[in-house]
Structure 1
Amino acid sequence: MKRNFEFDASNEMHSFLVTELEDGVLIGCSLNHTTADGESFWHFFNSWSELNAGHETISRPPLMERAQIPKELHQVHFPL
């Protein structure tokens, strides 16, 4: 038996679609780019996966302070 759990994404910053299958679960996720970049999205998704797999903590805590980000990543340089 397959069940879907949907949330309306039309006015939301995040949306999830969870489909429960007989032998597992499929999770679809989307978010507005103003809330996170691609790396942050995958960090969240992988951390969520670790916790649901039974780990008590995540393997890589998020960086919450800009000072922890290497200075060479603060600016984007475009080739001329």
Structure 2
Amino acid sequence: MWAYLSCLGREVFPTKPPRVEYRLAPLGQSMLNPLGVLILWADRHHGDIHAARQRYDANAALSDVDNDEEIVSPNNPA
């Protein structure tokens, strides 16, 4: 998929066993800074994100008691 989106270059070498090399294409390289900023933000806010997920799951559990339905969330997959 990333090669299809022109983010990765892929080169296949006709060797035995086959060898494939990947490299970031210019479009992929242009994502490095924005992804780095996102990773930094997530790292700085990890505690807040974790607390928000716990609050969401707790509220969903309370709501589930009323609705008698199974809760589906990333922390509680069906």
| TM-score bin (small chain) | under 0.3
TM-score using structure 1 length:
0.27
* Higher gyration radius (CA): 2
More helix as a share of residues = 2
TM-score using structure 2 length:
0.28
More strand as a share of residues = 1
